[in-house]
Amino acid sequence: MYKKSISLVVDMYGCPNRCKHCWLGNMPNRKMEENADQYLVDYFKPYFDSVTYYSWLREPDYCPEYAKRWITDNKISINKKPMRFELASFWRIVRDSNYIIFLKEVNVKVVQLTFFGLEKLTDKYIGRSGAFQELLKATKILIENKISPRWQAFINEETRNEIVDLLELSKELKIHEKCLEFGGGFKFFVHSGSCDGENAKLYNIRINKENIPIKLIPYYLDYDEVLTEQECCDILKSDSSHFVYHNDGDIVLNISNTYDIYFNFTQMSEEWKIGNLKTEDQVEIIRRIIKEDIPALNLARNITVEELVQKYGDKNSHKAFHLSDYKSYLLNCCVKDILGKSNQT
């Protein structure tokens, strides 16, 4: 038994969207076997103090029996119950009138909704037409039911102007005032996202810091800490430390619908895979989890940040990053470059 807690975050039902910024990486939907949940809890039970089970990794409450599912997740978890987050399925909010009642019953006070501009761009980036209108409708339903919507907008060189229009739209719709009427609040915020998973593919259109519209600066997440890539390279060019993710406290595992497991540090790609629960030895899998022994982390332990900057940094780029996101971007470039090649051979 390890004196650690583990959370199992399982892609049991998939997601209706295919967002271009998805840090997990887009994966096919596949409904897992009925008994997958108990199998997974039983797998980890002998080794950990507590096992917390989440039946969704991508879209929360995407399965039709979401209320029963929430009860089961609570029931099969051992010593630590799952939490609700400020997240919900906007796909379901607009299709299922019972769902908003369920959200209230489980005490959800705020729901975050994601935009990429106005209709055409939001539909394009979410990966299906109708998504933008659904987000507006979901906002209305949330307010009617005294739940505060929170709008996050992903900015890049393509979306930046429309995000200004989106901010104006939120003002025209008087969302803030409507939330105040029931004692809630409305937050609008903008950011570029980390640069992993699907979002790494958008590196070429990542916003240059000087192109962030002035009107959006008050809404930009931690704007005071936003640097250009050039500034990041300058700060890190003599940094001899290693950038290695580590589980300080609880371990959180992301589990695919084919039983591949990953730490929740970054994207779910082959190089970051711990192993497969169905095809590999259980004792060996547990050892890899405890020792954090996976290809990408072993590579990270053997390359310094200054080497990463030298090999993968663009010292002339003005793309906007927070420093920690930039380090993770550099590491993922290296992982893809070195381990991605060996995976192909």
Residues near ligand SF4, by CB under 6 A: 15, 17-19, 22, 24, 58-59
- Cβ proximity to ligand SF4: between 91 and 259 the closer is 91
Given a contact cutoff of 8 angstroms between Cβ atoms, the answer to whether 148 and 186 are in contact is yes
- For the chain, percent helix, then strand, then coil, each to nearest 5? 45, 15, 40
- Closest contact distance (angstroms) between CB of 24 and ligand SF4 is 6
Given a contact cutoff of 8 angstroms between Cβ atoms, the answer to whether 25 and 268 are in contact is yes
- Cβ proximity to ligand SF4: between 22 and 335 the closer is 22
- Closest contact distance (angstroms) between CB of 22 and ligand SF4 is 3
Tokens of 245: 């993710």
Given a contact cutoff of 8 angstroms between Cβ atoms, the answer to whether 219 and 154 are in contact is no
- Closest contact distance (angstroms) between CB of 19 and ligand SF4 is 3
- If 0-12 CB within 10 Å is exposed, 13-18 middle and 19+ buried, where does residue 134 land? buried
Give 255's contacts (C-beta < 8 A, 6+ positions apart).
8, 9, 10, 11, 40, 57, 261, 262, 277
- Closest contact distance (angstroms) between CB of 199 and ligand SF4 is 9
**Other CB atoms within 10 Å distance of the CB of residue 5:** 17
**In 42-130, beta strands by DSSP E:** 48-54, 110-115
- Cβ proximity to ligand SF4: between 87 and 235 the closer is 87
- Cβ proximity to ligand SF4: between 24 and 166 the closer is 24
- Cβ proximity to ligand SF4: between 59 and 229 the closer is 59
- Closest contact distance (angstroms) between CB of 152 and ligand SF4 is 11
- Closest contact distance (angstroms) between CB of 27 and ligand SF4 is 9
- Cβ proximity to ligand SF4: between 88 and 297 the closer is 88
